[in-house]
Every structure is written in C-alpha cells, then in structure tokens.
C-alpha cells in the first residue's frame, strides 16, 4: 500500500533494547551485532529487513529508530512493562514491584517527548536512510530509579528481588552519537523532570 500510494518515507520504531541482545560493549552502537533474545526483538529486526528489501526493490525510503527505554504520560502498566510506569503505579497502589535481576540492572531511560521529536526529525527527507539509536545517553540502575521515584513521590516502594530472566539484558546503554550528528537530535528532558511530568499525569 505504501508503494501504491507513493509514500515518500517510512519512519519505523524498532527497539534498541530488544534487537541487540546481550551487549558485547557499552555503549551500543548501530554496528553492534543483532542477536534478539525475544520474539518481540526478532519481529522488530524482521521488519527492519523488510524495509531494506522494499527500498532495494521499490525505492521506498525509510529511517529506522531504535529507542532504548522510553517512558512518560499515557504509558500503560497493565502488563507490568515499563519500569518508570510500574514504579509510579506502585507508589499510588502500594502493590509490590518485582526487580528481575535486582537493583543493579541498568537501563537507558528517556522521556517520550524526546522520542516524538526524534520521529519528526527522522521524517525529514534530508536525513540519510538507515538505523539510528535513540536514548537518554546515560545508564540508570533500577536501584537509582527506585530511589528517585521514592523521593519524588514521597513514598516507600515495596520491592521483591528475583533472578534475572534469560531475555532481559543486564545492561542497556545506546550510543546516540549518530542521531546527534546526522539530524541534530539529543535528549532534552532529564530523568527527574521526566518522572515529575509522568507522576503528575498518573495522579
């Protein structure tokens, strides 16, 4: 349908947290090997391959964004996914949270508004076709996130530590140099400010 409708460019949200798998080095660049640890990651990588195929066969232009771990307003917590949303929900309900792998697991959290700006920037036809990491630029452990949520919400979270799951990398930190260089994107909302905005929405 995109080819028939003469769509000029597709901006696809892949997943920097899922397509790379266990990191052999940090931060993870776009050249890092892709070894997904879940069906979700395999599916994202498959779509990336389809996009490349359609470009070669039909000249359908594309940009792939590989976000790390976005969070923010309207984030669903019904399936227990998204640490920031789950932790804030726990601050309201008092329900315990489960830390798979413990407080030392680190993730590259960043605000959803910054992700939206990356999508808009990538739609510009002057941006070179390819894949770009999008993230916060720094690793934050789950322990640090808990401390921050407790401070901002003035609550004490109930935490249960469990062994890591085989599809959860112990650390995710993306190198966002390429996006900064090629279309001037960088995260603008810090973790504290972003959580404050998200907490206001939750309340």
Please tell me which residue in 40, 58, 62, 132 is annotated as part of the active site. Answer: 40
40 is catalytic: yes
| Distances in whole angstroms, Cα of residue 35 to Cα of each of 15, 102, 123 | 12, 23, 27
Active site residues: 40
């Amino acid at each position: 349908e995109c080819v028939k409708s003469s769509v000029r460019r597709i901006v696809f949200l892949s997943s920097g947290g899922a397509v790379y798998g266990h990191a052999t080095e940090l931060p993870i660049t776009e050249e890092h090997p892709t070894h997904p640890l879940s069906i979700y990651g395999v599916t994202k990588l498959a779509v990336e391959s389809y996009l490349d195929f359609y470009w070669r066969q039909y000249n359908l232009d594309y940009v792939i964004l590989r976000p790390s771990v976005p969070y923010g307003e309207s984030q669903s917590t019904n399936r227990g996914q998204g640490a920031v949303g789950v932790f804030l929900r726990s601050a309201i309900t008092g329900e315990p949270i489960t830390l798979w792998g413990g407080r030392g697991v680190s993730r590259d959290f960043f605000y959803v508004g910054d992700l939206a700006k990356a999508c808009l920037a990538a739609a510009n036809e002057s941006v070179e076709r390819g894949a770009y990491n999008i993230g916060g630029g720094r690793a934050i452990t789950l322990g640090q996130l808990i401390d921050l949520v407790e401070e901002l919400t003035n609550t004490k979270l109930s935490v249960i530590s469990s062994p890591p799951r085989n599809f959860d990398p112990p650390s995710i930190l993306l190198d966002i140099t390429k996006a900064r260089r090629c279309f001037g994107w960088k995260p603008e909302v810090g973790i504290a400010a972003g959580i404050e905005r998200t907490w206001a929405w939750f309340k």
